[in-house]
Structure 1
Amino acid sequence: MPDRLGPRSSNCYVIVSALLVTALLTVDATSLGNEPRPRDAVSFELDVQPILAAHGCNAGACHGKQRGQNGFQLSLLGFDSDFDHDAIARQARGRRLSIAAPASSLLVRKATAELPHGGGRKIDVGSDAYQTLVAWIRQGAPRRIADEAVLESVQLQQTEFALAPSGSAALTTIAHYSDGTTRDVTGMTSYLSNEAAIVQVDSAGRLTAGPIPGETAVMARYMNHICVANVSIPRTEALPEGFYDDLPRANFIDDLVYDKLNQLRIRVSDPAGEAVFLRRLYTDVIGRLPTPEEADRFLNSQDSDKRARLVDRLLDQPEYIDHWANQWADLLRPNPYRVGIKAVLNYDNWIRQQFRENVSHDEFARRLITAKGSTWHNGATTLFRDRRSPDEVATLVSQLFLGVRLDCAKCHHHPFEKWSQHDFYSFAAFFGKVGRKGTGLSPPISGGEEIVYVSTKGDVRHPVTEAVLAPAPLFGDVDLSEEDDPREALVDWMVSPENDYFAKVHVNRIWAQLMGRGIVDPVDDLRSTNPPSNPALLDALAKHFQQSGYDQKDLIKTIVLSNVYSTSSTPNETNAGDRLNYSRHYRHRLRAEVLAEAVAGVTETTESFSALAPESRSNQVWTHRIDSVFLDTFGRPDPNQDPPCERVADSSVTQTLHLMNSRELDRRVRSDPGRAARLAAGKQSAAEVVTELYLAVFSRRPTAQEQQYCELQITSAGENRRGAIEDLMWAMMNAPEFVIQN
């Protein structure tokens, strides 16, 4: 509703000045009707703002939105106390407060719904919140009080809970102040469960478990301080005695995953078969299916170390380079219509070159973040052609290389983390001296060259205080005394052993690619309110990655040779509902480029891409602007989307219809130089044809029933042998087993 008082009354529109406050405070409380008794000095920051936050007044859906609500704006979640006090006590000609009659103040009457209020009733007359607001106004609505303490931290009395299904427990939130006092603020704290289906939490901090086993985190936010409780609901049935003690373990990954599953009383699925492991490994490590010859050789091998030897061989394949570089291109590659075609092509080539050289991840980050020179000679500089201001670079770098999403802190204190505007712009100041000369941007055709260099000047200012901020990391210290380029000091801090964010976000991203889900999800959102499903595992992987010299190949090998990686995707009665703890392999659709390569391999045909050499592979496409209905259908990013671009892995009806009805797919199945034509014209028996088809499409041999049925289709086709083989191939490529990684 509009922010108005209604009919003019004797105590309306009182404009408060410093001289009037003293006089107004002498008014006899008994002459003000049924107003509550005066109380001790009330702090705006410690008493009033928490009321506004607890009742959602300064939330993003209400007065905390960017332009406020109906003429009344507060800082989001109370991050700017000076702004909020000014909005309440001084803006709108001071009409929101009536010092002479506090209970008649617009602020109070709207909150109690005595006047029309779009947000409805927030507090009740006579409640503690009501008493506090009225007492503060009666005291002259001061910004500060004498000897005012500072809120230093907020803690939960208990942070780990194990509940029975449908059980409950209570959170208790304690605020700690600079004068050594504490206050129980449980009823004034906002709570949020990450998985309400697993555990619900009400406004009073009461936890209620759902009927199914699981785990989640519950956030408690009091003002700008956040703490988290972890809640688990173990299965009530115990596992067989010593179940996990008897399982083989390949490395520390198995130890930490099995320990967590044992706590939750979840039984891990059986190991996957050799054929499933083979197909999983090829598609994960080099982005294509094994050929029938490769599959047959692996399946026939009796060597005890054949898995390890295969992993080493795949990591040395040229397909490894394009497969993993293509994934990083999603995270870095901008729109060529914005920054220029040549700049984007150079950028893509630079990314691929880092993987050709097997550059360690810390060196990869250093070369990119400190890039200088021409966008036509050093592709890494395209980052600074695309992101043209320090704040734009800061959000990209912090998200990709630290797993910290700072975007929210650009405008206000981060609502789910500890980062403030000061933190954000101090971090952005590392990029303040990045200079550019040459042709700037002129979308949609930005064809010119640009030189990125380190300037001798370049300040970053706080948007509210206008103070010039020195470069500062999000935590810890850096030495800027000997660096002409602050970015060098930033990278030193990022890759130091004391900063585990750098290692954690990368191992989490690699883990998600190989295991179907990150230990933290989303993969680049490492915050206290989004805790890892297995903290010990994430810590151990990060430490291992650091000790290996940030060697990605070593990290991949460690993961894929664990027993956890080779677990079957078939659930058992204990883990069907588990989506967090890797008690089974999580099925997922093949990445668009991987599926495109699978089609090419099965049909023995190639796809032609514009702006690429003949017979180029789909994962060599250097921009999403290159047309491909197939890649678009199976989820490559929108070409207009700014990096980092995360893929949507969900399957859709459109994808199913495309496989069934695509003229291009039909043409490739029926291609004269293709596999079906070759098999039809060859001298192989029907049994041998069926075996090759199954090895090519599914990387396994057919079952006896499949063998018999498919042989019958080929032999009964007579002269139409080729048509039967084509139909079988088409049907197999439309099976879920072809599209989904098991």
Structure 2
Amino acid sequence: MSDRLLTRLSFAFVISVAMLSGWMCPQNAMAVDPDPVDSVAADSSGSGWSGSDSAVDVPVSFELDIQPILAAHGCNAGACHGKQRGQNGFQLSLLGFDSDFDYNALVHQSRGRRLSVLAPESSLLIQKATAELPHGGGRKIEPHSKSFTKLASWIRQGAPRRLNDEPRLESVKLAETEFSLSPSAEAQLSVTAHYSDGTEREVTELTGYLSNDATVVAVDEQGRLKAGPIPGETAVMARYMNVICVANVSIPRTEKLPSDFYAQQPRRNFVDALVYEKLAQIQVQVSQPAPEHVFMRRAYTDIIGRLPSPEEARQFLDSDAADKKAQLIDRLLQQPEYVDHWANQWADLLRPNPYRVGIKAVLNYDNWIRQQFRDNVSYDEFARRLITAKGSTWHNGAATLYRDRRSPDEIATLMSQLFLGVRLECAKCHHHPFEKWSQHDFYSFAAYFGKIGRKGTGLSPPISGSEEIMFVSNKGEVRHPVTDEVLAPQPLFGSAEVADRTDPREALAEWMTSPDNEYFAQVQVNRVWAQLMGRGIVDPVDDLRSTNPPSNAKLLGELAKHFQETHYDQKALIKTIALSQVYGLSSVPNETNQGDRLNYSRHYRHRLRAEVLLDSVALVTETADSFSALAPGSRANQVWTHRIDSVFLDTFGRPDENKDPPCERVSDSSVTQTLHLMNSRQLDNRVRSDAGRAARLAKSDKTSAEVVQELYLAMFSRRPTAEENVYAEQLLNAAGDNRRAVIEDLMWAMINSPEFIIQN
């Protein structure tokens, strides 16, 4: 062998060793400019990239080819290298939202040892992905697969950051977005990516999929849908890079309803027509109308947060008026309890931590919220007053919002969720994994709150007793956390120009409450619907996004339109829903709707809200509650801070005051709640109180039949059945001098019954 040949072989060996050890960076070995905006020469067509996958020698794009491979195989997922600190020293941006960061991590970090241009298949990136070298994530890419070949081609071409005239990914579309499948049937999703130069590419194999309910419809890694064995419906998300599209999949019942079934059903307003239309599509039959006493009890607890008294129950049940339900709803909407019941629900969303902002500020805030409901302030005006609040926390309770939330990013997260139903929290750190919102979107939205100034001593937990004044400063900015760019205030979509306004929040309030902003009306309509119907059209109620579609989009849209047309009058909205036929349906299922939890073919049972249940106990036992920091006889719905102790309210799910609003209550029943009702000394004392209902009835000259009827009207808002009447009368007639003890035992048993605790 000649000396010259030996020299060449030795030089090649040294270069290879240097590349693998990281001594020589690949960009130097590849003669590639280390600037992360390198490009390769364009091909004969004038472009450096082709949407076709057919040829390995076609220039490969990092953003359009390599990042989709990493995303499709889970390399940049939250459980792998996309987590906050990466995995084993190698970090990628979550789901590829930051291309520059990912390129730098692959090509420049660790002295470039992850890539080998002289031997692409031996690159650490490929060796790990194919499990040729030990890899905690196992084998992600099969050797010599399309993904393998594409990665190797990119490395061989010099691992460029960009190509000449490289197009942008503009949209991703499903060939079909609506599927109706038979039980256990299968179907294939087909996904196409569209680019700024007019090209398109079939990307089904590189798309990630997620079913909102895999028990109804499952989806595999190739986009193959598999229907479950029972009727139902769900949404399936398809994500290609940071672009998302959604397919709605339903499994109707195979047994058909009579074609004229819904044509014969009563319709009270547009709500019924839209619910019936959806139910007809999935071949589900509505339950029978609820008995009158069930409707009455439902309306009382939903609208004013208490049970009807025995006298009120008799009046409704004995009325022969054709419009008595409408009369009842009108009367309830005028009751003072309406204010406390609905203000209490909004206080959950707005109530700050008293240990942070001070107890006086919390009291003023709570009073402000209740006053808005007393004045029946329209919802859009209510929102504007909160968004633009300023002044002293001791004089304008709404200003307390900005005492609790002190940085623009905190305020942006709260405001978007409250008034738009958009959960922006994820976009604070990275591109939202289930939506279109980016970090730029988040911090541009937060910039509307950049000029909020504060005068005072600030916070001093756990006391924070001082006054603080909110004002609009002439300075203040919000910067992008990655680029450090100062961002101008921008809404999430559309336009909300600040122009010459001294307070940017005024422009935001106008944009947010504009009729063109469909999110604003929809999120509040959805909240009210959920309170009255047991489940939101979108669930969770404040999570409106394409990957969490409404169960009835037409219904949500028409309710929002109605809300706008009535000038955002919540009472008008409540009345429309409460007078619909579907609101008055029974919760008892039939053979067709036993599995329905989305389409309101029946009323959905749920436990009474903690405050409603406690006020109901006070009403039926005729014993007043006693809360610290409240006047004697105050109701649970009037409690203005969770620092007021109540074991009962805590047991039945009122939020922890130390958690961030919006506070989400736990609506599920628990063993603790059952044990509390059975064993609480306070509850037992109320039943046995000398000033309570049991003692009064025992001392009265009422007959056993009259006592039994009053108990059932008070507890269940109905008269006893014949069997119940005979049994209870026998107990009372045989009691003799123990009449009071028997009444107390009956009351205790009725309070512990599901009929008392659950709204049917």
**Correspondence for 1:492:** 510
How big is the shift at 1:37? 9.8
* AA in 2 matched with 1:64: G
**Correspondence for 1:717:** 735
Matched, 1:503 2:511: no
**Correspondence for 2:694:** 676
- CA distance, structure 2, for counterparts of residue 485 and residue 240 of structure 1: 60
- CA distance, structure 1, for counterparts of residue 55 and residue 509 of structure 2: 59
**Correspondence for 1:308:** 326
- CA distance, structure 1, for counterparts of residue 478 and residue 499 of structure 2: 18
- CA distance, structure 2, for counterparts of residue 381 and residue 69 of structure 1: 44
- CA distance, structure 2, for counterparts of residue 22 and residue 440 of structure 1: 58
Matched, 1:285 2:312: no
Asked whether the equivalents of residues 11 and 101 of structure 1 are also in contact (C-alpha less than 8 Å), the reply is: no
Of 515, 535, 541, the residue aligned with 1:523 is 541
- CA distance, structure 1, for counterparts of residue 629 and residue 596 of structure 2: 45
How big is the shift at 1:105? 1.0
- CA distance, structure 2, for counterparts of residue 521 and residue 272 of structure 1: 25
How big is the shift at 1:639? 2.2
Alpha-carbon deviations, 1:17-48, whole Å to 9, x = none?
65531399xxxxxxxxxxx9962111000000
How big is the shift at 1:655? 0.7
**Correspondence for 2:755:** 737
Asked whether the equivalents of residues 16 and 99 of structure 1 are also in contact (C-alpha less than 8 Å), the reply is: no
Matched, 1:191 2:209: yes
Alpha-carbon deviations, 1:650-684, whole Å to 9, x = none?
00111111111111110000000000000000000
- CA distance, structure 2, for counterparts of residue 305 and residue 16 of structure 1: 83
Does the residue aligned with 1:12 lie in a helix, a strand or coil? helix
- CA distance, structure 2, for counterparts of residue 379 and residue 703 of structure 1: 50
**Correspondence for 2:36:** none
Asked whether the equivalents of residues 13 and 94 of structure 1 are also in contact (C-alpha less than 8 Å), the reply is: no
* AA in 1 matched with 2:693: R
- CA distance, structure 1, for counterparts of residue 524 and residue 166 of structure 2: 44
Which 10-residue stretch deviates more, 480-489 or 338-347? 480-489
Alpha-carbon deviations, 1:549-580, whole Å to 9, x = none?
00000000000000000000000000000000
Matched, 1:461 2:496: no
Asked whether the equivalents of residues 131 and 140 of structure 2 are also in contact (C-alpha less than 8 Å), the reply is: yes
How big is the shift at 1:481? 1.8
How big is the shift at 1:124? 1.2
- CA distance, structure 2, for counterparts of residue 264 and residue 388 of structure 1: 48
Does the residue aligned with 1:22 lie in a helix, a strand or coil? coil
**Correspondence for 1:16:** 25
- CA distance, structure 1, for counterparts of residue 132 and residue 138 of structure 2: 10
- CA distance, structure 1, for counterparts of residue 689 and residue 28 of structure 2: 92
- CA distance, structure 2, for counterparts of residue 91 and residue 159 of structure 1: 41
**Correspondence for 1:412:** 430
- CA distance, structure 2, for counterparts of residue 410 and residue 96 of structure 1: 30
Which 10-residue stretch deviates more, 402-411 or 12-21? 12-21
Change in Cα spacing, 1:535 to 1:356, as seen in structure 2 (3 Å) is: same
**Correspondence for 1:688:** 706
How big is the shift at 1:479? 2.9
* AA in 2 matched with 1:556: I
Matched, 1:159 2:159: no
Does the residue aligned with 1:192 lie in a helix, a strand or coil? strand
* AA in 1 matched with 2:192: I
- TM-score (norm: length of structure 1): 0.96
Asked whether the equivalents of residues 155 and 227 of structure 1 are also in contact (C-alpha less than 8 Å), the reply is: yes
Of 218, 227, 239, the residue aligned with 1:209 is 227
Of 278, 285, 290, the residue aligned with 1:260 is 278
Alignment of 1:630-649 (within 5 A): 630-649=648-667
Change in Cα spacing, 1:9 to 1:37, as seen in structure 2 (3 Å) is: farther
Does the residue aligned with 1:153 lie in a helix, a strand or coil? strand
- CA distance, structure 1, for counterparts of residue 356 and residue 217 of structure 2: 46
Does the residue aligned with 1:403 lie in a helix, a strand or coil? coil
Matched, 1:535 2:553: yes
Alpha-carbon deviations, 1:179-215, whole Å to 9, x = none?
1111000000000000100000000000010000010
How big is the shift at 1:9? 4.6
Matched, 1:614 2:632: yes
- CA distance, structure 2, for counterparts of residue 19 and residue 257 of structure 1: 66
**Correspondence for 2:191:** 173
Asked whether the equivalents of residues 27 and 158 of structure 2 are also in contact (C-alpha less than 8 Å), the reply is: no
**Correspondence for 1:382:** 400
Asked whether the equivalents of residues 373 and 451 of structure 1 are also in contact (C-alpha less than 8 Å), the reply is: yes
- CA distance, structure 2, for counterparts of residue 274 and residue 562 of structure 1: 14
Matched, 1:424 2:433: no
Asked whether the equivalents of residues 350 and 662 of structure 2 are also in contact (C-alpha less than 8 Å), the reply is: yes
Matched, 1:228 2:246: yes
- CA distance, structure 2, for counterparts of residue 241 and residue 412 of structure 1: 50
Asked whether the equivalents of residues 13 and 98 of structure 1 are also in contact (C-alpha less than 8 Å), the reply is: no
**Correspondence for 1:577:** 595
- CA distance, structure 2, for counterparts of residue 155 and residue 46 of structure 1: 16
Does the residue aligned with 2:250 lie in a helix, a strand or coil? strand
Of 554, 573, 576, the residue aligned with 1:555 is 573
**Correspondence for 2:12:** none
- CA distance, structure 2, for counterparts of residue 18 and residue 57 of structure 1: 23
- CA distance, structure 2, for counterparts of residue 610 and residue 140 of structure 1: 73
Does the residue aligned with 1:594 lie in a helix, a strand or coil? helix
Does the residue aligned with 1:489 lie in a helix, a strand or coil? helix
- CA distance, structure 2, for counterparts of residue 37 and residue 593 of structure 1: 68
**Correspondence for 1:246:** 264
How big is the shift at 1:241? 3.0
Identity over aligned pairs, percent:
74
- CA distance, structure 2, for counterparts of residue 477 and residue 330 of structure 1: 31
- CA distance, structure 1, for counterparts of residue 55 and residue 139 of structure 2: 23
- CA distance, structure 2, for counterparts of residue 369 and residue 23 of structure 1: 52
How big is the shift at 1:16? 2.8
Matched, 1:342 2:360: yes
* AA in 2 matched with 1:575: N
Of 307, 326, 329, the residue aligned with 2:344 is 326
How big is the shift at 1:10? 6.0
- CA distance, structure 2, for counterparts of residue 283 and residue 338 of structure 1: 33
How big is the shift at 1:515? 0.2
* AA in 2 matched with 1:62: C
**Correspondence for 2:50:** none
Alpha-carbon deviations, 1:120-165, whole Å to 9, x = none?
0000111110111111111111111112111110000000000001
- CA distance, structure 1, for counterparts of residue 422 and residue 463 of structure 2: 33
- TM-score (norm: length of structure 2): 0.94
Alpha-carbon deviations, 1:454-491, whole Å to 9, x = none?
01111111111111111111110123224211111111
RMSD, aligned α-carbons? 1.4
- CA distance, structure 1, for counterparts of residue 56 and residue 280 of structure 2: 58
How big is the shift at 1:704? 0.4
Change in Cα spacing, 1:47 to 1:447, as seen in structure 2 (3 Å) is: same
Does the residue aligned with 1:436 lie in a helix, a strand or coil? strand
**Correspondence for 2:488:** 470
Change in Cα spacing, 1:255 to 1:23, as seen in structure 2 (3 Å) is: closer
Asked whether the equivalents of residues 697 and 733 of structure 1 are also in contact (C-alpha less than 8 Å), the reply is: yes
Which 10-residue stretch deviates more, 577-586 or 147-156? 147-156
Asked whether the equivalents of residues 608 and 614 of structure 1 are also in contact (C-alpha less than 8 Å), the reply is: yes
- CA distance, structure 2, for counterparts of residue 89 and residue 537 of structure 1: 51
- CA distance, structure 2, for counterparts of residue 11 and residue 141 of structure 1: 14
**Correspondence for 1:28:** none
Asked whether the equivalents of residues 401 and 505 of structure 1 are also in contact (C-alpha less than 8 Å), the reply is: yes
* AA in 2 matched with 1:21: M
